[in-house]
Chains A and B, each alone.
Chain A
């Protein structure tokens, strides 16, 4: 890859890393709330957290571009606090990525937490575990495959996202040009050799991450059978 590609590669990894860390901080308590909470309003919370999955990325990117831009009071307020507008910046991409990848973190965690035997949850509650300890000492270790899936899916989904990035971030080298944008640029300029290399890197990342998930689950399965 050229020097420019490595810059995009590093930027993509940085964006995915920051997004995944923020997503975990949001998605773990959100998934625990959905699984442990009571009340009809939780269905609305779950639906809202799943919405980005069915929303076209360009639509989400457009809404965020308008919301975070100088035309809204919210966008102007954020710009005043940060000293720069969120649109067309790395920070703006992080906000967009967190919203866009939220279902890919929340859904595996909800499925994993919900599959934990109720008897274990009740035993922990009887022994004095509050919500935080319940999640950290029972839900995450028992549903660790789902936890790993949430990390990997969030990371890969962010690395591969295109529509939101293009709408919200544009194509600024070193700030918002990710590998997906580079691939698009290479195809647009008929540089198929470079496009092949970029696509191979994206493909390799996905295969490696998925192999990590499946090897972990197979290892766990064979431990349980032993």
Chain B
């Protein structure tokens, strides 16, 4: 049955997007693959999406070598980057929008989504990653992101915000659109 599902192939990140270089995309794809491999998932597995969108995808990861595992041995950093990789692909599949702008925030990046022919953003993407979490932990993270996005409600212009929480244990993703 998994063959019938829409594909989310992490290798697609390696070709980049308007504001994501192939090198940056590859890093996100590798981090996500290490997270999935560490949780025992095969090269292709099901990603269950719930929230404002409901669908199950076929999530395809990269091969993971020992070198890759050693490269991404900081679990927190790998989970955060891996979640961004999955979320960017998921956002594109669900909304048709790609990453058209990044902005530095803390020691990471904020991601903004838009259409590839008009290089200005139309939506903001908020991502959160959990390596292995319970239903309650995912829900708590979702509430936290909702509160952050609620602050945006008043005005980011008329900007839509998507919050995507990625959990690698099952794996699953919860999407909120505001």
Binding between chains A and B = no
Interface residues of B (CB under 8 A from A): none
